[in-house]
Amino acid sequence: MAATTPTPTSPPPSGPTVPPSSGPTAPPPSTVPSTTPSTEAFWADAEKHLVRYGGEFTREVIDRAAGSFVYTADGRKLLDFTSGQMSAILGHSHPEIVATVQRQIASLDHLFSGMLSRPVVDLARRLAETLPAPLEKALLLTTGAESNEAAIRMAKLVTGKHEIVSFARSWHGMTQAAASATYSAGRKGYGPAAPGNFAIPAPNAYRPDFTAPDGSLDWRRQLDFAFEMIDAQSTGSLAACLVEPILSSGGIIEPPLGYFAALQAKCRERGMLLILDEAQTGLCRTGTWYAFERDGVVPDILTLSKTLGAGLPLAAVITSAEIEQEAHDRGFLFFTTHVADPLVAAVGNTVLDVLIADKLDERARALGTFLRDGLTDIATRHEVVGDIRGRGLLAGLELVTDRETKRSSSELGARVTRRCLELGLHMNIVQLPGMGGVLRMAPPLTATEDELSLGLTILDQAIAEAQAAH
């Protein structure tokens, strides 16, 4: 269904390489006076001067990162099973990314937002080449929240309506419209959300709310009921449905095959646009270039971020020429400081080069099978493993205290996560009401089988120890 994958076309150097410093020569490392504060002073400064923006900070001082590992100031080596913030799909400090940043920042880094550069136009064209028709018009931004904000704004303008539907376990960002469409966390205490936002249940096959006679999830009946409720609440101004192909922060919930085609039909019946947020699933992580390819649907608007910049702040909104023209005719405005910045656009082009040259979609499929087999093996030894799910190198393992009742324990999940970190594995856990602790795994697509094996070994030990203690 997707368009033919383009051949690598790395942009030629657009300027001179970084010249050697003309300043004084640094003394040998052994003679450089140490100015590194103690760990105690570091944390004292952090506690005094940093705003806490979500949970507690990991109590490690990170000094550097390379490949699949991050390194602490005290010499510990941590296997990174989250690719940074689920973004560094090429691992940390990938040599081609480093070279692109060094080359590009020496010649052209940032422009007035109304100016264009070759890296920006090249990236827009090349993204279109990876996508099925009619997706061909791109807006390059910085973060997932910003791209979802722009997509919602475009959908409202084009449809002339304002109501937005999203999954009840969704995470789309922390800016106003994106946060109003986010239901997994962060809604209480900030005053009214944007008007006209509605939630529909996430189709969780492990914890079904609508069941068939055999106890499986009856997602068609669930979806019908969901839109009966939407219709009852709507003022007749339904603009768009914004969803992730796999809910990541919601606990690695993958809707069953056929769900998105049915959801798109519901949207069409009501004159709504379908917006797919592929911040974490796009660009080969799930084993295909885009997760929606499995389902035979094409969204009206696609949002990308995280994986597009491989750790740098780059995002995109991609839509059809028809929708873009209608938005333009109606005066679409999304003029931001870092829209169409050349530095990160050049990085995006290099990301595409590496994905294509190294066939990382195929690699993600193969490594995803290896990872899932390892998780399945762990499940055979530990009764606290309730479910394994995900696709490619985006995997989830749900912990429960009882497989029959699927009873959850936030303490168990926190204990496993903490022990993994002590043993040298950085994991992320999703803990939401009504759901067990879901260990969320998204290693770099450049990881090796040996690195995945190391992570699985650590996870196995951490679960065994936490289970015994629990």
Which active-site residues does the annotation give? Answer: 171, 244, 277, 280, 306, 440
Residue 126, Cβ density class (10 Å: 0-12 exposed, 13-18 middle, ≥19 buried): buried
* Cβ atoms within 10 Å, residue 226: 23
The whole-angstrom separation of Cα 306 and Cα 311 is: 6
Concatenating the DSSP letter of every residue in 67-113 gives BTEEEETTS-EEEETTHHHHT-TT-BT-HHHHHHHHHHHTT-----T
Measured CA to CA, the distance from residue 5 to residue 415 in angstroms comes to: 43
Q: What is the number of residues in the chain?
A: 470
Token pair for 207: 């914890």
Answer whether 218's CB lies under 8 Å from 232's CB: no
Report the run of H or E that residue 29 belongs to, with start and end.
none
SS3 130: coil
Tell me how far the alpha carbon of residue 4 is from its chain's centroid: 24
Sheet strand arrangement including 385-391: 385-391, 394-399, 437-441, 428-430
Q: Of all helices (H) and strands (E), which one includes residue 446? A: none
Task: Give the residues across from 124 on adjacent strands.
Answer: none
CA atoms within a 13 Å half-sphere pointing along the CA-CB vector of 154: 31
Coil, strand or helix: which one is 435?
coil
Q: What is 184-221 written as a DSSP string?
A: SS--TTS-PPPTTEEEE----SSS-SSB-TTSSB-HHH
**What is the sign, positive or negative, of the torsion defined by CA atoms of 27, 28, 29, 33?**
negative
In order of 65, 289, 389, 420, 432, the CA distances from 83 in angstroms are: 11, 18, 18, 16, 22
- Of 371, 379, 376, 389, the residue nearest 207 (C-alpha): 389
- Which of 230, 224, 280 is closest to 251 using CA atoms? 280
CA nearest neighbour of 458 among 427, 420, 429, 412: 420
